């Protein structure tokens, strides 16, 4: 009977102990929009798809019909990589531009952190 009390006491002590788990947070994304140009230049040097202009889907007859920072190409407005980066960051989508500017292949961009600020 005494052994039962010892075991019960031991179980109670163990269940009351808190375990501390080490949680490794993601590194913070540096929100420096000034690096958009450098990052896009690197993407262009590597001929990455992400460095190319992005179609806005808006028809145009000239640059004057596109938003500032966009160009009219083949009668469609296109957003440059740098302008797309700046606009994305102004809307809370942050790319780790230091990481992007240091990649050696297009596939490495997938390893650069991305942070999205929700405005619910």
Task: Give 93-109 pLDDT, tens digit per residue.
Answer: 888 999 999 999 999 99
Q: Is 13 part of any domain?
A: no
Q: Is 12 part of any domain?
A: no
- Domains held by the chain: number: 1
pTM: 0.66
H helices, E strands: number in the chain: 4, 5
Q: What is the pLDDT of residue 94?
A: 86
Domain span including residue 66: 28-116
- 51: confidence class by pLDDT, cuts 50, 70, 90: very high
Q: Is 81 part of any domain?
A: yes
Q: Is 32 part of any domain?
A: yes
Distance (Å, rounded) from C-alpha 67 to C-alpha 72?
10
For residue 2, give the H/E element and its range: helix 2-16
Going from the C-alpha of 54 to that of each of 84, 90, 118, the distances in angstroms are 8, 17, 23
């Amino acid at each position: 009977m005494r052994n039962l009390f010892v075991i019960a006491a031991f179980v109670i002590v163990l269940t009351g102990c808190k375990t501390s788990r080490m949680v490794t947070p993601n590194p913070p994304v540096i929100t420096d929009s000034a690096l958009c140009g450098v990052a896009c230049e690197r993407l262009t040097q590597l001929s990455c798809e992400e460095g190319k202009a992005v179609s806005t889907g808006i028809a145009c007859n000239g640059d004057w019909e596109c938003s500032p920072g966009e160009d009219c190409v083949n009668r469609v407005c296109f957003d440059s990589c740098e302008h797309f980066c700046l606009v994305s960051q102004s809307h809370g989508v942050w790319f780790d531009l230091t990481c992007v500017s240091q990649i050696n292949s297009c596939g490495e961009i997938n390893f650069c952190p991305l942070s999205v600020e929700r405005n619910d």
